[in-house]
Structure 1
Amino acid sequence: MKYTFSALLLMLFTSFAYAHPGEHHGGMLNAIGHLLSEPDHLAMALIAVVVGVASARFFRRRTAARILAKRR
């Protein structure tokens, strides 16, 4: 059941990969410029940064609490 659900989710969200029809020519700098100039790309980047920082803080606090609990 777990694998079926995962496969279903992958099939559902693969259509979003076609958000930009055509090819993007111009290299890495053009791609970075495109990503930084579009509001929807900036929003996704901001969400990724916020989730990354929040999860890093969570796991650091959890690890510190476990280490402190072992010392007692």
Structure 2
Amino acid sequence: MNRTSLALFMVLFSPLALAHPSKHHGGFLAAIAHLLSEPDHLAMALIAVVLGIAGARLVRRRASARVQHKRR
């Protein structure tokens, strides 16, 4: 499965991943407040940020290595 189809699959099926939808009855701001007040949600958000930063650094490092390799 290539990256594009995997990303599309994840986007299409993400609404099915609600762990406890009954806590989000207050609208968007209540949902954000709930996500920021639960330690398990904060841990998952932190993991996502760390993985995003690590992925961005890896992509940049590979791109700069490619550019340097072409200069030789």
* TM-score, length of structure 1 as denominator length: 0.71
Q: Runs of 5+ in structure 1 lacking a partner?
A: 3-15
Partner of 2:35: 35
Select the structure of larger CA radius of gyration. Answer: 1
User: Aligned pair count?
Assistant: 61
Higher relative contact order (CA 8 A, sep 6+): 2
Question: What whole-Å deviation, never above 9, does each CA across 1:7-64 have from its counterpart, x for those lacking one?
Answer: xxxxxxxxx9353153621111111100000000000000000000000000100000
Given the superposition, is the C-alpha separation of residues 18 and 61 from structure 1 closer, same or farther in structure 2, using an over 3 Å criterion?
closer
Identity over aligned pairs, percent: 70
Calculate the aligned-residue CA RMSD, in Å. 2.4
Q: Match of 2:59, as an amino acid?
A: F
Q: Runs of 5+ in structure 2 lacking a partner?
A: 2-15
* TM-score, length of structure 2 as denominator length: 0.71
